[in-house]
Chains A and B, each alone.
Chain A
Amino acid sequence: MSDIEEERYEGTGFAPTTEDEEEREEQGGTHHDRGRKYSKQRPRREDEEDEDEDDEDDDEDEDEDDDDEDDEDVEGVGRGSKRQKRRHKRAAVNRFLDVEAEVNEDEDEEEEDEEYGGDEFIAEPEGEGDDEEGVRRTVHHARLDRRDRELNDQDLARIAEDVSQRYKRSAVRYTGDMNEVPQRLLMPSVQDANLWQVRCKPGRERDLVFSLMRKSLDLEFSNRPLQILSAFERDSLPGIIYVEARSQKQVSEACNGLVGIYPSRGVTLVPIDEMASLLLIKKQETTVNPGNWVRIKRGKYQGDLAQVVDITENGEEVGLKFIPRIDLNPKDDVVIDGKKRKKTGQAVSTGVRPPQRFFNYEEVVKVYGRKMVSKRNQAYIFQNDTYKDGFIEKDFKLSGIVTENVNPTLDEITRFARGNQEGEGMENAVDLSLIAEASRKAAIAVLQPGDHVEVFEGEQAGVHGVVESIALDIVTVNPVGAFDLEGQKVQVPARSVRKRFKPGDHVKVMSGKNADESGLVVSVSGNIVTFLSDMSMLEVSVFSKDLREAAEVGSGTNIVGNYELHDLVQLDNQTVGVIFKTERDSFRVLDQNGQVRLVQPHQISMRRDSNRAIATDAEGYELRVGDNMKENDGEGRKGRILHVHQSFFAFLHNREILENGGVFVTRARSLVSLAPKGNIIRPGTDLSKMNPALSGGAVTGGMVGSGMGRGPRDRLIGVLVTVIKGPQKGYIGTIKDTNGPIARVELNTNNKVITIEKERLYRRNKDGKLEPLEGGRDSMGPPRGGFSDGGFGSSGGRTPNPYAPSGGAGWGGGRTPNPYVVGGGKTPAWGSSKTPNSYAEGGKTPFHTSSQTPNPYAQDGGRTPGWGSSARTPNPYTAPSKGAAGAGWGGATPGWGGATPKPTSSSWNDSSSAPSNNGWASPGPPASGGWGESNWSAATPAFGAPTPASAPTPGGPGYGSTVYNAQTPAGMFTNRADMPRRLQPHIHHMNGRGRQHSIG
């Protein structure tokens, strides 16, 4: 490589060819490289000496003699020519005169010329440029004579002195006759010419250097030859050329008139100690090998990926193979003219470059005509380029390609692969390792202490261990498993290690297309690791450099923005979908119609929550998110419900289904539960919540007896009122809260809540009539929310009141037959709650009781699971009201008179009936006795009470007991149901071993 570089350098830089050199070549023509190199240095030294120290001229001459003698063939002639050059340069300087501080500018020289012009020793012609030949000849002869004379005339002492002086100097200065010159002796010194840095247009450095060379050649024999000694550029320093000259002025003169040089930006002197480093050729090894990926630096194919096919011997040029960009739509005149090369060149320069496309003979012929393309062997020749297998094959200068940081993308590589397959001569399918190789440098960056690595090349190949530290490119590895190296630390270059994974490792991808994916390694071959993704359950192959061992599951991959895998998202007004795959910054979404969409986060309007959504399955049972279901038609797919949409669509997930990440959408109606049927009605096993079995009884009992809390909510709340006094007079509002004589009213007009005395308010009836707030209570209509609120309020605060939906039916049922409307209230329902109040006649205790009497009712209804299912199951409640009740009921009704609802409630929960009995004790003591007895006796097994099993019980003489017997089997602990099925056998077994549960 160094050779290449040197040659390149020499091509770039130049020493203005002195006649010395030229003539030598003319005459001898046999200089070998070294000779040339030296000669390049010599002229400037000579000049320097001549000009600075003329007293040493003789020595110099001697030196030159030596030099010349080295170059065996030149001898006297060469010397003559040298002299001549000197003459040429400095015209007629008398060699025997000491001229101190001579300045090598033309004026000076001319002055000198004049000064010494009349010197009689040397006959110097005045106009040397005019009569070149004559000058040369005279000088030649003169020198020869002089030299002879010198040699003869000098006395021995002088000679000895000369010799000693010569050798003394040669110790520090150049000596030509050593085969190897120590580098340090060649270092520039203060005496040498300086190096000047000149700014120029980037990219034109080389041209400028050549221009300088041409210029110097042109002006060589003119009046004002360039006085610069050499010029060069470095590829690594764009926009700068270096010129060697004695003064800045010379440089400026040389650069004057050259386009692209910016003398205005200054000509700066390069410090002496930096001169050498500028010329230092960095030894770099050839990194380009056939098969490597490179990029093209400039031209039409700038930036294109190319593969190295071959390399010329000197390493200067490489044959590249890449995808051509042939303009298949050239301008019309192009084809007609047939001068397409020029034209296409223009087309290219306009900036629109044709897309990459494999060479296709037919296409090209169609556009450019048959004669433009010729075939040679396997390849086509078109526009002086060779096309083979669709690729263009072209030689590039090494400097014209990028070999570092090529980073070919997988797309580019696959394009190449495709081309390779298309072409018949398929050399090698894509060798992924080549890419890895190319980007191996980057791999250093991804190494971290703690990584498990393996040395795969070099002395330590095969050793594997844990990275202990990384210092630049050196990795310290703590070997594992190598006996002889145990405990030692091995230092290896980072490029010769690679991360090591073994099957079973849990890894995470750090970069690349699959970044953030994690999985378990299934196989490792070379530096390609295949792992099974945790999320998609698919196999993914990546370079080991992109992997890290990871403990966590790649959760990062599931969240993009605010959305997560398996979220139900709203895409537009009509469409929702479930995310089944997250990519770098987008999702794949399966919408309700089964379409897959690629969606960006911003296209999602919102995330939907379907946790509470309920739908019914094929058998009419409820299905919820999380249930394991199976399709009963179509493909019979199984899966776990992820989301339910509008009670109609169900999104299910099953890992075993490969398409759409295991997510599929189906109609809820076509699903059947996979779990055993007992699972469907899930009794409340949550022991941290209220015991459903106890709740009714316990709470009711407690409340009746103790009057727990502050009693029911004020029935006035929610009542529509009109303000009849005060500044707000005439305003209509709703009572939000009451506190003694004061109410807080939310005005309808401006949504403001005012605090106002109750007496200023009048109730506003439906028909718009006003009546006093307190007095009109009897006539409160059932449709008002106030009713249910008031009636059920006490429990409403604590537990969600599921009663509301079914309440209408329940109450309706209760209401209709209710004949005991004592208070004359219009609505039986209100009557019932109001009734006791009227009994109480202002007594506070009864009021409580009375208002609570219906409460147990409400609570029963609310809490009892039986209520939830009442929508589906025959409602025992309504049954009596419709007159469908059994004999028992029929019997009860007359006996109870208005008490119909109560037995009903007692059928739900015996204990609740107890207080109500109490409450009713006064109005109907005769009836209560019998009921009370049976109810109480039945109370003990009340655990099962809440289950709907009680539903079918109406009627029957052994009312209480039968009911409870029937209820018990539905016991609340069907706890096995939600266990995974595969464990069921175990459990059965265990059960068999005698765990006695409430399972009857």
Chain B
Amino acid sequence: MFFIKELTHTIMLHPSYFGPRMQQYLESKLYSDVEGTCSGQFGFIIAVVSISDIGKGMVISGNGQAEFVTRYRAIVFKPFKGEVVDGVVHNVTRMGIFAEVGPLNCFVSQQLLHPDLKFDPSSNPPSYTSQDQVIENNTKIRIKIIGTRVDATEIFAIGTIKEDHLGVIE
């Protein structure tokens, strides 16, 4: 699920950057630091929408660097158990299917595929096939997330397509 979330990020700025373009440095630093990362708590930070407060630089005694606690609003994507998401298959193995849901990697075990879908090892690229469906790389599928593993810097999900209205999207 996507959220717009107010977050903070701390930037250390070397004194050599102090000066007229400091703000610009900070902004670009924030973008590069934050966008595309994942925090277990909030999920994937997709993009910074706006910077609400670049923060007051506090010079740290001892090394002269300034610490900016920047508050910004970002679009975050956090997967939840039970959520239905669309993804693109990017790897098919005997065990199941790995799909990308944006930045999220999602695994669909072959036990959570429809029983009709059988792994076809002979096909190239490998695929799961039934009479009317083929799941191979780049197939778009709709997945229901049944579990997530949330690390500090990574989120991984497993999903199922063994329910109604899930599976290949035409």
A687 in contact with B91 (CB, 8 Å): no
B35 in contact with A687 (CB, 8 Å): no
Tell me whether A506 and B149 are in contact in the complex, defined as CB-CB below 8 angstroms, given that A975-B28, A979-B35 are known contacts: yes
A504 in contact with B146 (CB, 8 Å): yes
A686: chain B residues at CB < 8 Å are 14
B48: chain A residues at CB < 8 Å are 990
B29 in contact with A503 (CB, 8 Å): no
Count of inter-chain pairs, beta carbons less than 8 A: 114
A538's nearest neighbour on chain B, judged by CB, is: B95
Closest CB in chain A relative to B99 CB, distance in Å:
12
Taken together as a complex, chains A and B put the C-alpha atoms of A521 and B107 apart, in Å, by: 11
Is B53 in the interface zone, CB < 8 Å from A?
no
B129: chain A residues at CB < 8 Å are none
B36 in contact with A979 (CB, 8 Å): yes
A523 in contact with B13 (CB, 8 Å): no
Q: Which of A648-662 contact B (CB under 8 A)?
A: 656, 658
Number of interface residues of A (CB under 8 A): 42
A658: chain B residues at CB < 8 Å are 93
B149 in contact with A534 (CB, 8 Å): yes
Taken together as a complex, chains A and B put the C-alpha atoms of A949 and B35 apart, in Å, by: 29
Closest CB in chain B relative to A298 CB, distance in Å:
45
A656 in contact with B91 (CB, 8 Å): yes
Residue among A522, A982, A998 making CB contact with B24, cutoff 8 Å: A998
Is A906 in the interface zone, CB < 8 Å from B?
no
Closest CB in chain B relative to A277 CB, distance in Å:
54
Taken together as a complex, chains A and B put the C-alpha atoms of A371 and B11 apart, in Å, by: 90
B109: chain A residues at CB < 8 Å are 522-523, 530, 532, 539
Closest CB in chain B relative to A975 CB, distance in Å:
4
Tell me whether A530 and B111 are in contact in the complex, defined as CB-CB below 8 angstroms, given that A504-B81, A976-B32, A980-B36 are known contacts: yes
Is A558 in the interface zone, CB < 8 Å from B?
no
Q: Which of A941-1000 contact B (CB under 8 A)?
A: 943, 973, 975-976, 978-980, 982-983, 986-987, 990, 995, 997-998
A979 in contact with B16 (CB, 8 Å): no
Q: Which of B11-26 contact A (CB under 8 A)?
A: 11-14, 16-17, 21, 24-26
Residue among B14, B95, B100, B145 making CB contact with A688, cutoff 8 Å: B14
A987 in contact with B111 (CB, 8 Å): no
Closest CB in chain A relative to B117 CB, distance in Å:
15
Taken together as a complex, chains A and B put the C-alpha atoms of A656 and B96 apart, in Å, by: 12
Is A381 in the interface zone, CB < 8 Å from B?
no
Residue among A553, A976, A987, A995 making CB contact with B149, cutoff 8 Å: A553
Taken together as a complex, chains A and B put the C-alpha atoms of A417 and B158 apart, in Å, by: 33
B28 in contact with A520 (CB, 8 Å): no
Is A708 in the interface zone, CB < 8 Å from B?
no
A691 in contact with B147 (CB, 8 Å): no
A687 in contact with B12 (CB, 8 Å): yes
Taken together as a complex, chains A and B put the C-alpha atoms of A553 and B148 apart, in Å, by: 12
Is B139 in the interface zone, CB < 8 Å from A?
no
Taken together as a complex, chains A and B put the C-alpha atoms of A534 and B151 apart, in Å, by: 11
B36: chain A residues at CB < 8 Å are 979-980, 983
Is A770 in the interface zone, CB < 8 Å from B?
no
B160 in contact with A503 (CB, 8 Å): yes
Is A698 in the interface zone, CB < 8 Å from B?
yes
A693's nearest neighbour on chain B, judged by CB, is: B16
Interface centre among B26, B48, B111, B112 (most CB of A within 10 A): B111
B29's nearest neighbour on chain A, judged by CB, is: A687
A688: chain B residues at CB < 8 Å are 12-14, 65
Is B55 in the interface zone, CB < 8 Å from A?
no
Is A685 in the interface zone, CB < 8 Å from B?
yes
B27: chain A residues at CB < 8 Å are 995
A685 in contact with B29 (CB, 8 Å): yes
Residue among B25, B47, B81, B151 making CB contact with A687, cutoff 8 Å: B25
A687 in contact with B14 (CB, 8 Å): yes
Is B141 in the interface zone, CB < 8 Å from A?
no
B35: chain A residues at CB < 8 Å are 979, 983, 986-987
Is B121 in the interface zone, CB < 8 Å from A?
no
Is A844 in the interface zone, CB < 8 Å from B?
no
Is A714 in the interface zone, CB < 8 Å from B?
no
Residue among A532, A685, A978, A982 making CB contact with B158, cutoff 8 Å: A532
Tell me whether A685 and B149 are in contact in the complex, defined as CB-CB below 8 angstroms, given that A656-B91, A658-B93, A987-B47 are known contacts: no
A522: chain B residues at CB < 8 Å are 96, 107, 109, 111-112, 158
A525's nearest neighbour on chain B, judged by CB, is: B111
A658's nearest neighbour on chain B, judged by CB, is: B93
Tell me whether A506 and B147 are in contact in the complex, defined as CB-CB below 8 angstroms, given that A685-B32, A690-B16 are known contacts: yes
Is B2 in the interface zone, CB < 8 Å from A?
no
Is A695 in the interface zone, CB < 8 Å from B?
yes
Closest CB in chain A relative to B100 CB, distance in Å:
8
B49's nearest neighbour on chain A, judged by CB, is: A990
Taken together as a complex, chains A and B put the C-alpha atoms of A995 and B111 apart, in Å, by: 47
Is A694 in the interface zone, CB < 8 Å from B?
yes
A998: chain B residues at CB < 8 Å are 24, 28
Q: Which of A728-753 contact B (CB under 8 A)?
A: none
Tell me whether A982 and B16 are in contact in the complex, defined as CB-CB below 8 angstroms, given that A503-B160, A506-B149, A975-B32 are known contacts: no
Taken together as a complex, chains A and B put the C-alpha atoms of A689 and B13 apart, in Å, by: 8
A976's nearest neighbour on chain B, judged by CB, is: B32
A530's nearest neighbour on chain B, judged by CB, is: B111
Residue among A553, A694, A997 making CB contact with B16, cutoff 8 Å: A694
A973's nearest neighbour on chain B, judged by CB, is: B28
Is B3 in the interface zone, CB < 8 Å from A?
no
Q: Which of A680-708 contact B (CB under 8 A)?
A: 685-691, 694-695, 698
B149 in contact with A997 (CB, 8 Å): no
A975's nearest neighbour on chain B, judged by CB, is: B32
Is A317 in the interface zone, CB < 8 Å from B?
no
B128: chain A residues at CB < 8 Å are none
Taken together as a complex, chains A and B put the C-alpha atoms of A973 and B102 apart, in Å, by: 26
A503 in contact with B31 (CB, 8 Å): no
Taken together as a complex, chains A and B put the C-alpha atoms of A63 and B90 apart, in Å, by: 95
B158's nearest neighbour on chain A, judged by CB, is: A520
Is A128 in the interface zone, CB < 8 Å from B?
no
A981's nearest neighbour on chain B, judged by CB, is: B36
A691: chain B residues at CB < 8 Å are 14, 16-17
A534: chain B residues at CB < 8 Å are 149, 156
Tell me whether A982 and B102 are in contact in the complex, defined as CB-CB below 8 angstroms, given that A523-B109, A687-B14 are known contacts: yes
Taken together as a complex, chains A and B put the C-alpha atoms of A530 and B146 apart, in Å, by: 14
B95's nearest neighbour on chain A, judged by CB, is: A539
Is B98 in the interface zone, CB < 8 Å from A?
yes
Tell me whether A532 and B28 are in contact in the complex, defined as CB-CB below 8 angstroms, given that A520-B158, A980-B36 are known contacts: no
Interface centre among B35, B90, B112 (most CB of A within 10 A): B35
Is A113 in the interface zone, CB < 8 Å from B?
no
Tell me whether A523 and B25 are in contact in the complex, defined as CB-CB below 8 angstroms, given that A503-B160, A504-B146 are known contacts: no
B11 in contact with A687 (CB, 8 Å): yes
B32 in contact with A978 (CB, 8 Å): yes
Tell me whether A503 and B147 are in contact in the complex, defined as CB-CB below 8 angstroms, given that A522-B112, A522-B158 are known contacts: yes
Is A505 in the interface zone, CB < 8 Å from B?
yes
B14 in contact with A503 (CB, 8 Å): no
B90's nearest neighbour on chain A, judged by CB, is: A656
Q: Which of A512-551 contact B (CB under 8 A)?
A: 520-523, 530, 532, 534, 537-539
A695 in contact with B46 (CB, 8 Å): no
B147 in contact with A521 (CB, 8 Å): yes
B26: chain A residues at CB < 8 Å are 687
A interface residues with partner B (beta carbon < 8 Å): 503-506, 520-523, 530, 532, 534, 537-539, 553, 656, 658, 685-691, 694-695, 698, 943, 973, 975-976, 978-980, 982-983, 986-987, 990, 995, 997-998
Pairs of residues from A and B, 5 with the lowest C-beta to C-beta distance, nearest first: A504-B147, A691-B16, A522-B109, A975-B32, A504-B146
| 12 sampled A-B residue pairs with Cβ under 8 A | A521-B147, A522-B112, A537-B95, A538-B95, A656-B90, A687-B26, A688-B65, A973-B28, A978-B32, A987-B31, A987-B35, A990-B47
Q: 20 other contacts beyond A523-B111, A688-B65, A943-B21, with CB at 8 A cut-off?
A: A504-B81, A504-B148, A522-B96, A522-B109, A523-B109, A532-B158, A538-B95, A539-B109, A553-B149, A687-B11, A687-B13, A687-B17, A687-B25, A694-B17, A982-B103, A983-B35, A986-B47, A990-B48, A995-B27, A997-B24
